[in-house]
Structure 1
Amino acid sequence: MSSRQRPRASSQAPRTNAPPRSAAPTGLAAPPNPRRIPLYTALAVLGAAVGIAGTLVQAALFPGGLLLALAASAGLFYGGRVLTRTQLGALVPAVGWFITVIVLLGGRPEGDYVFGQEVGLALFMLGGMAAAVICATTSRLPDPANDTGRSGT
């Protein structure tokens, strides 16, 4: 054995008694970024506004208004998801929307409802919840294409 041969790396590696590091939490378990809190607040307020507008529009113009209200709700939920690139971005406006719709569709102390009992209200609520779940549980957002500036590659 010559003096130029190196010893095995594993036998001469320094040993430490440090405990193994745990992985940082991801997804909804990760702590929210403090810079995004104003954005999440704005999304919740926008969700409440879309809920109010959608409730009024779907009741006024039944077939077309319902589709318009559902399209606006789904657009807000998906837009929040794309803007923040997190599931929380879709859930926050959905929570604002849901709370507003429940308050508006709930009964008053006198026993009557703010809006009449119709099929459109149930479709608006169920359709909005389905849109929120679909937007929040999409697997991954597509990555934007890298533009290198070269044609043909």
Structure 2
Amino acid sequence: MSAGRLAAYGVLALLGGLTGAAGAVVQGAWFPAGLLLALLAVGALCYGGLLATGTRIGPGAAAAGWLLAVMALTTSRPEGDFLFGSGVGSYLFLLGGMLTAVICTTLPVLPPPAPPAKPLGG
């Protein structure tokens, strides 16, 4: 595996973490539009990782970063504060984000289309 590809996976994981943290804030602040925006962001990042790397590791790295950030933000602090409420929006964000990441990670990687064949008579 090349160093460039490893760097791309690291950047995708970092962007996944940032997307998860931003989505956690936005989904609760602007429900339901924020929830839709957060889910679209994780879907776009994971699908973009698939297109950018051409492997399933790309969206998997983005999904792993997203999941680590979201799981870290679901824990309560000693003061009793937490970022996610117990409403339906939080559960939709967690489950919808995981489902979106799994869908993007398991999409088939198609080869580029072949160039058109030359006509027989010409």
Q: TM-score, normalised by structure 1?
A: 0.70
- CA separation in 1, counterparts of 2:114 and 2:26? 38
Counterpart of 1:123 in structure 2 is 92
Deviations along 1:10-48, one digit per CA (max 9) or x if unpaired, are xxxxxxxxxxxxxxxxxxxxxx33321111111111111
Tell me how far 1:115 sits from its aligned partner: 2.9
Tell me, yes or no, if the aligned pair for 2:55 and 2:109 is still in contact at 8 Å. no
Corresponding pairs, count: 118
1-side partners of 2:89 and 2:74: how far apart?
A: 12
Give the residue type in structure 1 aligned to 2:89: G
Larger Rg: 1 or 2? 1
Which structure is higher in RCO with an 8 Å CA cutoff and minimum separation 6?
Answer: 2
Matched, 1:89 2:58: yes
* CA–CA separation in structure 2 for the residues paired with 1:58 and 1:145: 42
Deviations 1:82-125 (A, max 9, x none): 10000000100100000001111221123442332211111101
Partner of 1:132: 101
CA change 1:71–1:145 in 2 (3 A) is farther
Runs of 4+ in 1 over 6 A off after TM superposition: none
TM-score scaled to structure 2, two decimals?
A: 0.86
Q: Percent identity?
A: 49
Task: Determine which structure has the larger helix proportion and give its number.
Answer: 2
Q: CA RMSD in A?
A: 1.9
